[in-house]
Structure 1
Amino acid sequence: MAASVPVAAAGGTAAAVAAQNGSALRRGLPRLAGGDPWPPAGTVVVESAAEPAPSEASEPAAVAPAVMDEAAAPAAPSTAVATRPDVSAPLPFTRTVWNGSAPRRLAAEPASRPRPTWPQAIGGLFAAAGLAVLAGAAIAIVRALCSLPFLQDFLTTYPGEYHLPAGAPVGIPGWIGWQHFFNVFLMTLIIRSGLRVRSEKRPTAFWTPRGNPKGKISLTLWFHQGLDLLWIINGVIFVVLLFVTGQWMRIVPTSWDVFPNALSAALQYVSFDWPTENGWVNYNSLQQLAYFTIVFLAAPVAIATGFRMSGLWPKKAEGLSKAYPIEIARAVHFPTMLFFTAFIVVHVALVLLTGMLRNLNHMFAAQDAVTWTGFWVFVLSLVVIAGGWAAARPLVLAPIAKVFGQVSGR
């Protein structure tokens, strides 16, 4: 049986023998906060020569003293040998490590997306079916209303379009087709990069302008702002050419009749008794209002809010910043993007459903004919847009960004 023996500081005989026959204990945490390490310095373990057999009369808590040679230590003081310390109670200490896996490993592991459950999937199907039923009901109701006499008179008085001013140009020139393609190409990449900026938590690459290390932004944000600048330049050229050539009269309302005619066109679209399309000469009033809103309202709002959120905004203009808070720009910018997205979806759908070949010839071939020329140009433009979408990644963008600044991983 072993007993722990503290070695006397004065170096007594019993302590010396204990030091020779035993082994020193490794010291650990203190028993009390702010105390010395436990056990005391110099405590050793001594192996006893014999261990008495347990008996009923013996007390379980009694600890047998170490047996030492009486000749070797005849005058050993009774305080030289101490009983084994009680180590059954846990040491008081505060945990300083996290009881789990390393945070580095957890951060590196991608968060798994929860899969929809069967009830959720069935609920989604019911929601889609409900929307389809509501759409069908709306169509049936509008068709029924349009058969009423007063609405028949309204549709006759306002067929969906009004006459343009005298001298309005006829036809769609080739430069509008090119501008249309550039606008679609840039808008697609702007929406892609904008959504990426909103969802990007830890950018993989950064861009820093030369001479301004504080202007460091993510490579994705640099790409988004660069596209915005090209889109603005393309839009300015488009607006200038509109007013120089007189094409502005096709998309800018010139009569209050635009509103009742727009309502008439909307009713005809919903009832699936669509208005007669003649975009080569004149757009219907609903189209005119939509194009006017996109060019002269939504585009300026997108530019103004984007400029407020960009690094080009003057940081020292405290009064201007207070009058136009960045929170307002953030609250408006994203819904404006959603409006553009909804317009593109509806616009493309109506182009394909209301005389696809003729409409595509108007926009992509600058001719009023029912041929496949505009269709194949449209397909080619989709291939170019898809290529730009696939190429919009750091491996391709980094060499381009290096021309205008410094690219780094941090």
Structure 2
Amino acid sequence: MREQLELFSHVAAAYADASGTLTNTALYRDVAQRAGLSDSDLQARVPIGSAGAPRSPVARKIRWMQQSLKQLKMIERVEGERGIWRLTERAGKDLDRAAEGVKLIAFHTELGMAIWSRHQNVFPLLDEPIHLCISSPPYPLRQARAYGNPDEVQYVDFICEALDPVVRNLAPGGSVVLNISNDIFTHKSPARSLYIERLTLALHDRLGLDLMDRIPWVNYSKPPGPTYWACVNRVQLTTAYEPVLWFTNDPLKVRSDNRRVLEAHTERHHKLMHAGGAGRTAEYGDGAYQIRPNSFGRITAGKIPRNVFERGHACRDTAAYRQHAKELGLPPHGAMQPTSLPDFFIRLLTEPGDLVADLFGGTTKTGLAAERLGRRWIVTEWILQYLRGAAEMYRDRPGFQMHAALDAVGGHHG
């Protein structure tokens, strides 16, 4: 799959870099050079088609990619000229949502890649095990945001269909982690929607995933919603959390290890450990929980985190991304989670070198966290402007390279 994506990128870059027009002959030479192919590779002929006519398989593949660009209205034939094409004005000024079928490596590092594409065009083609899929899918809102949302009726099918190729490629004991919304209500009612329960059951019944935990992401800086039912009619309490659902395909082989996410002991607990333990005897819950004189006396590296994730939504990476987007004249993403959320679950559920995936990449916080933790990563996002702003966050990473076509999106960054 990567070979196909790279070839598509080479063809698109050839047109993006061309001044004016580009003949097919020049296109073949340019793409071959970008792909590291020799003249003999380009000139090689093999029998193709029912007639068995000798043709160049390399040129044939390039023409297929050329036609894909044509269908996306990114290139157009020069009127009155045979075999001469050029980048359309629309491709330079109006790139936004990836059309059906497009797969373009927007940027990559030594560890991973961000692909401008709809997820269904990429993940069915992936041919290596995924160890963790962590994503924040669009929420089922009645009033869709700029990046698009399925409604509540469609939501369960939407998520199951999106995850199906990922689950089929999930390594034994691999995990799927979804950050979804709790603030979905039945129409004209203060009662919360049961879509989370329907989704949980569907992921188990349809895709064979087992629920490992429901972890609330507690965020006290959330706006005081639901506005109508909490602030106007005074029926509901204001919301301070979003659910994070953790699933695995095999609970007995799950790859999690809570020693990778230990938290620092309090000063009081350090004193207790170094004093040799509790120094008393007590029983609670009819003997179910007992404290002995040496309890808590063993020196440990840290404490096991509780299954509650307490973080605000703001973080340095979000601030940096917003600044890059502003400088490039790009619209910022409307819903950004802190990098600490994917960072935590990547550390808990994977080891260095594992593959982490995100179908709804947004500003690629999943990729950024995986990159910093030494995990391989692949992210898809269908809105080009979000990827362009996110690319600036990776400039200091080993092997960083951004597609030439992205330089025309929003403007240039020094």
Same fold (TM over 0.5): no
* Greater relative CO (CA pairs within 8 A, separation 6+): 2
Computing the radius of gyration from Cα coordinates, the structure with the larger value is 1
| Structure (1/2) with the larger strand percentage | 2
Which TM-score applies when normalising by structure 1? 0.19
